[in-house]
Amino acid sequence: MRSLPLALLVLCSALLAAPAGAVVGGTSAKPSAYPWHAELPFCGGALIAPDRVATAAHCVAGLALRDMKTIRLGNGTLHEAVGISIQPSYLRRALADTINRDAPADDIAIVLLAKPVPDVAPLRLRTAPPRAGTRALLLGSGQKSVPKKPVRAAANYESLRKATLSVISDAACGAFYRRHGGRSYRSALRATTMVCATDPDGRAPFRSACSGDSGGPLVAGSTLAGIVSWGLRCGGDHDPTVFTDPAAYRGFLTAAAPLLGPVSSGAPAILTGEARVGATLTCASPPWLREPERLRFSFDSYRFGKGRVTRQQGAPPAYVVRSADAGRLVTCVVTGITGGGFESAAPSASLRIPA
């Protein structure tokens, strides 16, 4: 888990935190024994009410709803996702691109289901974090061994695994990351909103979350004690896994009408104007299935072998072609934003600027 929270989403938005990991040192688990466990693309989650799943914000922020329409529960049933709601503080930092991508704060989100699940008892939400020494169950489907090199994606998704971890004190967890973590980790732990858990006996194989387990549950009894968020190298450095504390976000998780992100229609943005240096290009938004409150327009300049550069990003829908764009392709992207999330429409067709 070094240098990434525990799951990586391949998304077309640069606003996302890199995600976190899978169960290392665990054993195989029967999904039917945990019917409230949810499988999302690249991540896990937990049913906390008949119509909603709790997961990590870095798993779903900016994700197009059409790419996550189906949620599979541990009982084998499939359920349609109709909305995503991101915790407001995480959302503000994501939009400002100030997320600590290695160790994000306020890393929690809701996935709203089309219909209540009738035959699965949701996990109960706690009113306080578990005490140090509490044994808790970790579930996940990510990598099951420590990667030899830092990984940027969860590559090998396997069957559900479980491991028992022990909750440790905030002081012990903070001291570990101050000693062993890099700059991104030293002051990342927030005692009021995070919970740390680690291998209970300290002997190999060292049990931990890893790439692919992000958003998955830490369960104490029949309660959701944590949501997998970040760590170092999947326990390879005997590092604790850091979980978002659901008890700190009860108001957000139980809101009667959570704010939902916009939903694009799948149609691309429309880029018009003369393809030449000095000309003004205009980006128009396509239709939306759930309307955004505001729009952000990005103009990207691309050349094969040279990569993509974002030339302009913000509220203005117009861009004046620069001399640096000569011989390159210019594309625009429209991102819809609400108080509950953001989603980008498909990129526009490109205009080739003559050299």
Q: With H, G, I as helix, E, B as strand and everything else as coil, classify residue 323.
A: helix
Q: Distance between CA 213 and CA 21 in Å, rounded?
A: 4
Domain-wise residue ranges, the chain: 27-253, 263-352
Q: What is the pLDDT of residues 73-82, one digit of tens each?
A: 999 999 999 9
13-55 residue pLDDT tens: 333 333 344 466 677 889 999 999 999 988 999 999 999 999 9
pLDDT digits (tens, 9 = 90+) for 81-126: 999 999 999 999 999 999 999 999 999 999 999 999 999 999 999 9
Both tokens assigned to 107: 């890393």
- 133 vs 121: CA distance, rounded Å: 27
pLDDT at residue 156, as a whole number: 39
Does the pLDDT of residue 147 top 90, yes or no?
Answer: no
What average pLDDT does the chain have? 88
Task: Go through 206-226 and write b for each residue having 16 or more CB atoms within 10 A of its CB, e for each that does not.
Answer: bbbbbbbbbbbbbbbeebbbb
- 242-285 pLDDT, tens per residue? 999 999 999 999 999 999 999 999 999 999 999 999 999 999 99
Is 263-352 a domain of CATH 3.30.1780.10?
A: no
Rounded percentage of the chain residues whose pLDDT exceeds 70: 87
Query: Could you tell me if 301 and 277 are in contact, meaning their C-beta atoms sit under 8 angstroms apart?
Result: no
Kindly state the DSSP code that residue 161 receives in the 8-state scheme.
E
Q: Which residues contact 248 (CB under 8 A, 6 or more apart)?
A: 129, 192, 193
CATH number for the region 27-253 comes to: 2.40.10.10
Distances (CA, A) of 153 to 139, 187, 232: 19, 25, 14
Distance CA 336, CA 326 (A): 29
Model confidence at 215: pLDDT above 50: yes
Average pLDDT over residues 163-192: 92
Mean pLDDT across 296-305 = 94
